[in-house]
Amino acid sequence: MSFNNLDTLYRQVIMDHYKKPRNKGVLEDGNLTIDMNNPTCGDRIRLTLKVEDGKVTDTKFEGEGCSISMSSASMMTQAIKGKDIETALNLSKTFSEMIQGKEYDDTLDLGDIEALQGVSKFPARIKCATLAWKAMEKGLKE
């Protein structure tokens, strides 16, 4: 597949998550709620996690922001649901490395998250892409 076709596919994946976000809404029985914002652009998120026996059993998010931040939140909630805390934090570390253009463990199946890889070319947008992930890390580490 050519670079242009791959770039188009990635853009379509990002827009699909933006227009039809997964896990958007309020999680009534969550036991962790994390509010974060990016003051430089106005993106904001409220992430709710339900963690039981060291595992993220459910997660939802609410917020407002650009297509990058909201689609990243959608992808992140899909990726961590059902994962143990260590795996979720490891996914976050891998995502952070990828989004900064660093070498990362590409043996992990990142699924739709790989569509955000191109954000590394736009340093100003990295904070948009990592907002939900930083919220998840903050909640799971506290």
Q: Residue 127: helix, strand or coil by DSSP? A: helix
pLDDT, tens digit, for every residue of 16-71? 999 999 999 999 999 999 999 998 889 999 999 999 999 999 999 999 999 999 99
DSSP at 31: S
The structural domains of the chain, with segments of one domain joined by +, span: 3-141
pLDDT, tens digit, for every residue of 39-54? 888 999 999 999 999 9
Number of Cβ within 10 Å of residue 21's Cβ equals: 20
- Give the predicted TM-score (pTM) of the model: 0.93
Instruction: Kindly report the CATH number that applies to the domain delimited by 3-141.
Output: 3.90.1010.10
User: Is the model's pLDDT at 94 over the cut of 90?
Assistant: yes
DSSP at 11: H
49-83 burial: b if 16+ Cβ within 10 Å, else e: bbbeeebbebbbbbbebbebbbbbbbbbbbbbbeb
User: Is the model's pLDDT at 3 over the cut of 60?
Assistant: no
